[in-house]
Amino acid sequence: MKLTTNEFQRLANSPDKNEIVNVLQELIRFKTVNPPGNESECAGYVVDYLRDAGATVATFEPEKGRTSVVATIRGSERSPSLLLNGHMDVVAAGEDWTIDPFEGVVQDGKVIGRGAADQKSGIAAAMVAAKAILESDVKLKGDLIVEAVADEESLGPLGTRYLLNKGIKADMAINTEPTNLRIEVAQRGVLWLEVKTKGRAAHGGRPWVGISSIYQMVDFLTRIKKLERDLSSKKHPLVASPTINVGTIEGGMRINVVPSSCTVKVDRRLIPGETSNDALSEIRTVLEQASEADTNFKAELKVLLSMDPFETPKDHPMVTALQEATMFVSGTPAEIAGEPIYFEVTRLIDKPTSTSLDVVHHEIERKLRRDHLTSMSNSKLSV
């Protein structure tokens, strides 16, 4: 599927830089804040653009207004196929803007707007790259698939996960989240858990009659703190250490009542080499230890989300192709890196045969340099 030098030179010079910016601005102007999402109008724009360019386009709408787009450029042999994945939904804009966050203003060489970086820039780059291929005389061996999906920000089932269940897959995939043009070949996984300790309610004037679920939770959290220290000793060269964080806690109903239940939600991040099952077993061991130390200790454990980490070999042909493309376009070697934050790229992996990368978060990451946008589009042309 790799292009010749002459083919790539023609393609790299073909996209109009202003068109890439214009497409991004149009995408930003669709208010696809999730919740509720409402990606359908934005999806309509993507459909029209890619269909007019000559791609075969299909839409999927598992719920009203929650539309995803799949556009395909057929290759002569259909394989090896490459999928470019990006999401149309964005998080809420907040109140600290000095300009309209849904206008896509160009200012000081940057496109500014909600979704400019996360993640409509990736979709714009993929769209323009696909159009450049369709308008050229370059013939692909494998299929090129462009996905613009719904429901990523809530980690929901209506976007990438839905398409996978519908059989939309490829031999290789690039997730176009923003990475400042680094090639991210590794990502941490995530395991979200809910733990509820169960005591016995009693009047606050007679606490010895009850069993405090909050005291039980203190025991559990103390053990989690020790686990956190143990995890920090593990290292990965690209994504640092595994982590564990207790994000929320709820317990008790009144000041004068011994609490009968206490609930925490736990965020465990995994490094390549770990699995969700490994991390889940660690938590079960902690609960067993607490139960052995206190015969009154009772707890329930629920898995809220589970996604394993991934790592692509640095010498994989797709990584090499992206390095060559970045050097050709920018004159600067691309940094090989990892991503500690969870993106949907892990959903795209059907272990052990497929390969997925994160090539292109929610801090106030909302500005995108125009030259980076062009480089992103041209990098995709080479793979």
100 in catalytic set: no
* Calpha distance 158→156 (Å, rounded): 6
Strands (E), 23-139: 56-63, 66-73, 78-87, 105-107, 110-112
> Which residue among the candidates 39, 89, 308, 344 is catalytic per the annotation?
89
Question: Across the chain, how many H-helices and E-strands are there?
Answer: 9, 18
Question: Look-up: residue for tokens 């613009």?
Answer: 148
- Burial class of 337 by CB neighbour count within 10 A (0 to 12, 13 to 18, 19+): middle
> Which residue among the candidates 39, 147, 151, 152 is catalytic per the annotation?
152
**109: which residues sit within 8 A by CB, 6+ positions away?**
369, 370, 371
* Calpha distance 204→304 (Å, rounded): 33
DSSP state of 333: P
- State phi, psi for 159 to the nearest 5 degrees: -115, -110
Amino acid in position 43: A
* Helix H or strand E encompassing 44: helix 40-53
- Burial class of 11 by CB neighbour count within 10 A (0 to 12, 13 to 18, 19+): buried
* Calpha distance 319→334 (Å, rounded): 10
135 in catalytic set: no
Q: In Å, how far are 196, 219, 259 from 292, measured between CA atoms? A: 17, 12, 21
- Residues acting as catalytic residues: 89, 152
